[in-house]
Amino acid sequence: MEAREALLARVSAADGTTEIRDPATGEVIGKVTYGTPEDVKAAVDTAAAAQPAWAALSDEQRVAFLNRAADTIEEHAEELAYAIVREQGKPINGLGARYEVAGCVGWLRATAATPLPTEVLVDDETNHAELHYRPIGVVGAITPWNWPLIIATWQIAPSLRMGNTVVQKPSEYTTLCGLALVDVLNEVLPEGVLTAVTGAGDVGEALVRDKRVGKVMFTGSVKTGMKVVEESAGNLSRLTLELGGNDAGVVLPDVDPDKVAEGLFYGAFINNGQTCAALKRLYVPDAIYDRVIDSLAAFTATMPTGNGLDENTALGPLQNQMQWNVVNRLVEDARQRGARVVMGGDPDTSQPGFFYPKTLIADIDDDAPLVQEEQFGPVLPIIRYTDLEQAIAWANGVDVGLGASVWSADRDKAKEIAARLEAGTVWINGHGGIHPMVPFGGAKHSGYGLEFGVEGLKSVSVPQVISG
Ligand code: NDP
């Protein structure tokens, strides 16, 4: 066994009842026995018992633990990256698995370094009022399968910093990655502070319904996010909901197509399009429509799809059959409607693995399902516009609003358009870049609550005013 395979072997259960397969090859990479709602109860018992002592530590002590957690992830970086490739499918190199692991380290350290001083609100001869941020108690952290380590880290790090303990439920599709992360972090964290529960939706539901869980950090689809709101209603739990997106990019006529091609590619195709805030619809003016498509197609053609273990691979397979079916259905529908397949769109189903080719679709109407629904795959529809007002209306014409982008040589003009787009973040001349000190969250059905930075710390705590 290679050294980097050890962690995956350790978290796999030899007598597990469900086989986990590599999405690139179909090969069995491990086994798990999924947990049950009873296991959730036991995990919350553990988290609730550990919480008072964790909250009683000083902020400096918890910061030190977060930095030690970052150190241990660095020590296991290659093993964690290998687990991601084998279970999730993304490439080891480039903006892939090693990049995801490095992000966990960076976010843990940044969360440890974020200052959250007591705020003095009023201080005069009549009153002195201070705002403090107290722990909530137990946080339920529920994650999807696309970025299994970094999204969990975004939920765990601020929760721990603020004196909460955490029960983490990974997606059933990336159970081994979830267990691997918790296993590594628990090499340095005190017992009971972080516990994993595995399983499907019923396990997530049991976690949300547990009355001792005061806060749910949920990242996933809009549909499940709505269920979480209902499931948590009886507890009035605090919620952070990071839900799906269908991000629009609006290109203005003044761009140089060759200069924006690389940024457009990474915006749309990072993690094979399986990214909440990926560029999922591109609006391009008639005057430069063909040139933008030519430049983007030329760049896209240079990025190889393949098994993520190959250091040269830029895009891996889709993670699961369900997502492959969504992508294939939307592309077939676009073709039936007479849209033009510029490249891709023709999967080779004779080979194992959930591979789907990089696909660009042109001359497609805004009302096509490929434009209106979230594809979450390596496919970008490119819609032609002649009137910028129409493009803005189309960009705002869906229920979700996670991210958006404006592409222009004129920054001021781009900012004017950005202010009119209904999204939690609007990038200019780029798409999807995030930073641990810059809050991130959705508009409309993409959810509510902010992650990262000071706002992220506040969202996992109870504000308390001390006055007098
Ligand atoms: P799902 O909503 O299907 O699942 C998310 C998590 O919720 C999984 O762990 C899932 O378990 C669990 N779950 C399922 N049912 C329930 C329930 N009733 N109560 C509580 N938890 C439940 O999303 P996907 O895993 O399919 O992830 C893809 C989606 O996530 C995309 O739509 C994407 O846009 C969105 N996303 C949003 C991000 C953001 O920051 N806004 C980031 C990444 C993804 P199980 O999988 O085992 O069923």
3-state secondary structure the chain: CCHHHHHHHHHCCCCCCEEEECCCCCCEEEEECCCCHHHHHHHHHHHHHHHHHHHHCCHHHHHHHHHHHHHHHHHCHHHHHHHHHHHCCCCCCCCCHHHHHHHHHHHHHHHHHCCCCCEEEEECCCCEEEEEEEECCEEEEECCCCCHHHHHHHHHHHHHHCCCEEEEECCHHHHHHHHHHHHHHCCCCCCCCEEECCCCHHHHHHHHHCCCEEEEEEECCHHHHHHHHHHHHHHCCEEEEECCCCEEEEECCCCCHHHHHHHHHHHHHHHHHCCCCCEEEEEEEHHHHHHHHHHHHHHHHCCCECCCCCCCCCECCCCCHHHHHHHHHHHHHHHHCCCEEEECCCCCCCCCCCCCCCEEEECCCCCCHHHHCCCCCCEEEEEEECCHHHHHHHHCCCCEECEEEEECCCHHHHHHHHHCCCCCEEEECCCCCCCCCCCECCEECCCCCCECHHHHHHCCEEEEEEEC
- Token pair, residue 254, equals 């003044």
Could you read off the pLDDT tens digit of each residue along the chain, which spans 468 residues? 889 999 999 999 999 999 999 999 999 999 999 999 999 999 999 999 999 999 999 999 999 999 999 999 999 999 999 999 999 999 999 999 999 999 999 999 999 999 998 999 999 999 999 999 999 999 999 999 999 999 999 999 999 999 999 999 999 999 999 999 999 999 999 999 999 999 999 999 999 999 999 999 999 999 999 999 999 999 999 999 999 999 999 999 999 999 999 999 999 999 999 999 999 999 999 999 999 999 999 999 999 999 999 999 999 999 999 999 999 999 999 999 999 999 999 999 998 999 999 999 999 999 999 999 999 999 999 999 999 999 999 999 999 999 999 999 999 999 999 999 999 999 999 999 999 999 999 999 999 999 999 999 999 999 999 999
* Catalytic residue (choose from 79, 172, 242, 374): 242
Which residue's CA is minimally distant from atom 42 of ligand 1? 276
Between the CA of 244 and the centroid of ligand 1 the distance, in Å, is 9
Which residue's CA is minimally distant from atom 21 of ligand 1? 204
Identify the CA nearest to 461 among candidates 449, 446, 448.
449
Q: Which atom of ligand 1 is nearest to the CA of 451?
A: 40
Between the CA of 462 and the centroid of ligand 1 the distance, in Å, is 26
* Catalytic residue (choose from 87, 172, 276, 451): 276
Please choose from 171, 181, 319, 324 the residue to mutate so as to test ligand 1's pocket, defined by most ligand atoms within 8 A of CB: 171
Between the CA of 201 and the centroid of ligand 1 the distance, in Å, is 9
Predicted local distance difference test score (pLDDT) of residue 2: 87
Predicted local distance difference test score (pLDDT) of residue 360: 98
Between the CA of 144 and the centroid of ligand 1 the distance, in Å, is 4
Distance between CA atoms of residues 445 and 93, nearest Å: 33
Instruction: Respond yes or no: is residue 177 known to be catalytic.
Output: no
- Token pair, residue 364, equals 């497609």
Give per-residue pLDDT as tens, 439-450.
999 999 999 999
Instruction: Respond yes or no: is residue 242 known to be catalytic.
Output: yes
Please choose from 149, 224, 318, 450 the residue to mutate so as to test ligand 1's pocket, defined by most ligand atoms within 8 A of CB: 224
Give per-residue pLDDT as tens, 113-130.
999 989 999 999 999 999
Contact 356, 318 (CB under 8 A): yes
Largest pairwise CA distance in the chain: 79
Between the CA of 221 and the centroid of ligand 1 the distance, in Å, is 5
Which residue's CA is minimally distant from atom 16 of ligand 1? 201
Between the CA of 53 and the centroid of ligand 1 the distance, in Å, is 31
Query: C-alpha distances in angstroms, 123 versus 128, 220, 467?
Result: 4, 43, 10
Give per-residue pLDDT as tens, 297-349.
999 999 999 999 999 999 999 999 999 999 999 999 999 999 999 999 999 99
Q: Which atom of ligand 1 is nearest to the CA of 442?
A: 41
Identify the CA nearest to 331 among candidates 271, 393, 273.
273
Between the CA of 143 and the centroid of ligand 1 the distance, in Å, is 6
Range 111-115 contact pairs with CB under 8 angstroms and sequence separation of 24 or more: 111/66, 111/157, 111/158, 111/161, 111/436, 111/456, 111/457, 112/63, 112/66, 112/67, 112/70, 112/157, 112/161, 113/63, 114/161, 114/436, 114/437, 114/453, 114/454, 114/456, 114/457, 115/454
Between the CA of 142 and the centroid of ligand 1 the distance, in Å, is 8
Give per-residue pLDDT as tens, 15-69.
999 999 999 999 999 999 999 999 999 999 999 999 999 999 999 999 999 999 9
Which residue's CA is minimally distant from atom 12 of ligand 1? 201
Which residue's CA is minimally distant from atom 8 of ligand 1? 171
Which residue's CA is minimally distant from atom 30 of ligand 1? 220
β partners of residue 138: 165, 213
Predicted local distance difference test score (pLDDT) of residue 117: 84
Which residue's CA is minimally distant from atom 23 of ligand 1? 220
Pocket of ligand 1 (CB under 6 A): 142-146, 151, 169, 171-173, 200-201, 204-205, 208, 219-221, 224, 227-228, 231, 242-245, 276, 374, 376, 402, 442
Which residue's CA is minimally distant from atom 39 of ligand 1? 242
Q: pTM above 0.85?
A: yes
Please choose from 198, 221, 279 the residue to mutate so as to test ligand 1's pocket, defined by most ligand atoms within 8 A of CB: 221
Q: Which atom of ligand 1 is nearest to the CA of 440?
A: 40
